[in-house]
Amino acid sequence: MKRGEAFYEGKAKILYTTDDPDLIIQYFKDDATAFNAQKRGTIREKGIFNNKISEVLFTLLEGKGVPTHFVRRLNDREMLVRRLEIIPVEVIVRNLVAGSLAKRLGLEEGTPLSRPVLEHCYKSDALGDPMVNESYILGLGWATEAELREIARLAFRVNELLKEFFDQRNLILVDFKLEFGRHHGKVYLGDEICPDTCRLWEKGTLEKLDKDRFRRDLGRVEDAYQEVCRRVCS
């Protein structure tokens, strides 16, 4: 597949056209950002780890009936994906209290939730990805009622599958972010699934093995990504 021109560059990825209008190439960068890009840095080989991890997890989800944009991994840093019309809403699924939820409600990190919690945020770095509800999404025309139902169904299904997958690898899936888009009228899971987008804690010790090590200056950031990659890909 021939790589064409770059048409989008985000915080963690660059997207390139191909000779097929339905397919694009997603390139994974080593750049790291936190707090809506107020903190910036580099995590060595992060792009390689995230590309490999995402390949495994997208393949798992596809095999269980979750439609994703993933087609195949091309090399260490690139994967071929379906071109999506991105729905401008980030979907967060939470199994334990952590991060912004802990701050927002004054709860201790690690507090269990009796059931998974689904949150929606408007995808806007400039505005800090503010939380929105379904009324906003419908009123602003970002998605239809049918699409919202499908997104919620897929998000909870992804949670079930990934919780079991990570549990088998001695990891707790605390929470994670998903992005969805349309491809020929159908809703697909897009973006990536990796330590950039998931909070993963070691069972027993609760050691953080995700981007919180970068956010909170905990050190051993590259080691955490490499360890998750080893467990996911082995």
| 112 shares a domain with 63 | no
User: 112 near 201, Cβ under 8 Å?
Assistant: no
Interval 29-44 mean pLDDT: 89
Among 57, 82, 107, the domain boundary falls at: 82
Percent of the chain beyond pLDDT 90? 95
Tell me, yes or no, whether 142 lies in a domain.
yes
pTM (two decimals): 0.96
Q: Give the three-state DSSP class for 93.
A: strand
Among 60, 82, 104, the domain boundary falls at: 82
Q: Which of 193, 183, 180, 191 is nearest to 149 (CA)?
A: 180
Query: How many residues can be counted in the chain?
Result: 234
Q: pLDDT value at position 138?
A: 98
| 54 shares a domain with 125 | no
pLDDT, tens only, 153-191 = 999 999 999 999 999 999 999 999 999 999 999 999 999
For residue 77, what are the domain limits? 3-82
Tell me, yes or no, whether 152 lies in a domain.
yes
Please give the mean pLDDT across all residues of the chain. 97
pLDDT, tens only, 114-159 = 999 999 999 998 999 999 999 999 999 999 999 999 999 999 999 9
Q: From CA 97, how far away is CA 206, in angstroms rounded?
A: 13
Q: pLDDT value at position 1?
A: 78
